[in-house]
Structure 1
Amino acid sequence: MDLGLNGKSALITGASKGIGLATAHSFAREGVSRLYLAARSADGLAAAKATLSAEYGVEVQVHALDLSVTANVLALADRCGDADILVNNAADSTPGPLDQLPDQAWRDSLDMKIFSYVTLTREIYARMKARGHGVIVNDIGNSGENWDANYIVGTTGNAAMMAFTRGVGGRSLDDGIRVVGVNPGPVATDRMVKLMKRRALDWYGDEGRWEELFDKYPAKRPASPEEVADLIVYLASARAAYITGTIVTIDGGIASRRSII
């Protein structure tokens, strides 16, 4: 299936590992000509650039920035303003229940999960609007629809980003732009291991038992980063031209089941 991505350019945040890096590989395989990759890790980005350039011959520009800082988000938008596709993916919400999280944990997490997404969307959207086309994909998370008291910062931030995506995406076709979201459940990444260890500590009193949690999932496993990446790339493609203002959940049925306890 030709996704119509040949010659396009894509900006991906959180692109040095996990879903972001897998998304970069998926875009490159589908013929995107230029990738803008942003993340905190300069070393991770350098390794990603070397691999992507060697495997696919794609042009790769890297931007090592902390996107919890608004000035860095604005700088990234200025550097990558011609991107046809934006994938907001950089986030790292602190796990834990309400009584264990101080205000600073909330602010640090939501600066990444909400404000970096909102600011970068606003800046890139304006440039897309001037050109009359573009796609923005927000990688959010299924806790936004499957509320979790033990992941209260993440569940709150994700619910907010779901509303943001639907609100902006409901009107964006007026400007020739599509805005969509993806809600992954557990994905086999370093970040998932951190969250799973916290959940195992809450449930079993032993973070070392985190792999036992897979038995509670309908699919008995997490998603792979590549499974989420391929969905993101499809939604960004011409094949999904009638999809905007909606969220696609990829969690093996967890949110629909409403509980994995």
Structure 2
Amino acid sequence: MQIDLSGKTAVISGSTSGIGLAIATGIAMAGADTVINGRNQRTVDEAVETIRGNASGAKVRGVAADLGSRAGCESFVKTVPDADIVVNNLGFYGPSDIFATGDDEWERYFQINVMSGVRITRAYLRGMMERRWGRVVFVSSESGLNIPADMLAYGFSKTAQLSIARGIAKYAAGSGVTVNSVLPGPTLTDGVREMLKETAQKENKTIEQAADEFVIGHRATSIIRRAASPEEVANMVVYICSPQASATTGAALRVDGGVVDTIG
């Protein structure tokens, strides 16, 4: 399958590292004019150079803006007024059970993980519908279905993304615009590597071994029995953004290694 996104402009939020950077790289390699995003200009510039190094001739630029705020979204859209592809990847996670999570932290999860995608999608959706072609992807998580008790606010935010994506897909029915969610499972991102670094050193193991043991110990339903790579998640996203995926919309597509124990 040859995926060609030439002539399309793609926006990927939160794309200076991890899954977002892998998605941006894959989309750029498919020929799209790719706009990456992060809050810090230095990390944005570094990510742009990383993509150019991995994808010769890539059309890629970066815009520094805090998309977890209304002002940041407005600033970003002024700089990038139109897009054919939107990947809502921005998000954060951390331990937060019902007693450990205060009101301000709930609001932070809502603004960054949920409202960033709402605002950016709203900014570009009308143009997509008028042109009769577009792709919107929300990067959710298996935690949106398999709610972790010790990451409650994160799980809530990822479930909210699924609802929003499905509703927007219905709104855009028949327009040529598809809207989907992708649900990664445990993924060996830079953040996860850093989290496991101390454990790996103490137990004289590689970070990959520590990650696999984490998956087996804490996500026992995993079928692949290991953490996925950011590129494995990105492969699904790039496909969903392609012309070949025109009949897939309103879907929650799992790249979770089988963690969610359902045949649905």
Task: State the TM bucket, normalised to the shorter chain.
Answer: 0.7 to 0.9
Partner residue in 1 for 2:216: 215
Is 1:83 the counterpart of 2:88? The answer is no
What one-letter code is carried by the residue in structure 1 that aligns with 2:248? I
Residues 196 and 161 of structure 1, relative CA distance in 2, 3 Å threshold:
farther
Q: Which moved more, 1:21-30 or 1:77-86?
A: 77-86
Report the count of equivalent residues.
248
Cα shift at 1:196: 7.0
Q: Which moved more, 1:71-80 or 1:9-18?
A: 71-80
Indicate the RMSD between aligned Cα atoms, in angstroms: 2.3
Separation in structure 1 between the aligned mates of residue 137 and residue 182 of structure 2, nearest angstrom: 7
Partner residue in 1 for 2:50: 51
Cα shift at 1:257: 6.2
> Percent of aligned pairs with the same residue?
31
Partners of 1:28 and 1:56 within 8 A in 2: no
Gaps of 5+ in 1: 201-207
Q: Which moved more, 1:185-194 or 1:105-114?
A: 185-194
Partner residue in 2 for 1:204: none
Residues 3 and 43 of structure 1, relative CA distance in 2, 3 Å threshold:
same
Separation in structure 1 between the aligned mates of residue 245 and residue 100 of structure 2, nearest angstrom: 42
Separation in structure 2 between the aligned mates of residue 59 and residue 71 of structure 1, nearest angstrom: 27
What one-letter code is carried by the residue in structure 1 that aligns with 2:260? A
Partners of 2:41 and 2:64 within 8 A in 1: yes
Match for 1:252 among 229, 248, 257? 257
Separation in structure 2 between the aligned mates of residue 195 and residue 248 of structure 1, nearest angstrom: 26
Partner residue in 2 for 1:41: 40
Considering fraction of residues, name the structure with more helix. Answer: 1
Partners of 1:95 and 1:195 within 8 A in 2: no
Q: Which moved more, 1:47-56 or 1:175-184?
A: 47-56
Q: Deviations over 1:101-144 (max 9, x none)?
A: 11111111211111111111111112222322211011011111
- Taking structure 1 as the reference length, the TM-score comes to 0.87
Partners of 2:28 and 2:60 within 8 A in 1: no
Is 1:143 the counterpart of 2:143? The answer is yes
Partner residue in 1 for 2:202: none
Residues 119 and 164 of structure 1, relative CA distance in 2, 3 Å threshold:
same
Matches within 5 A, 1:119-198: 119-193=119-193
Partner residue in 1 for 2:114: 114
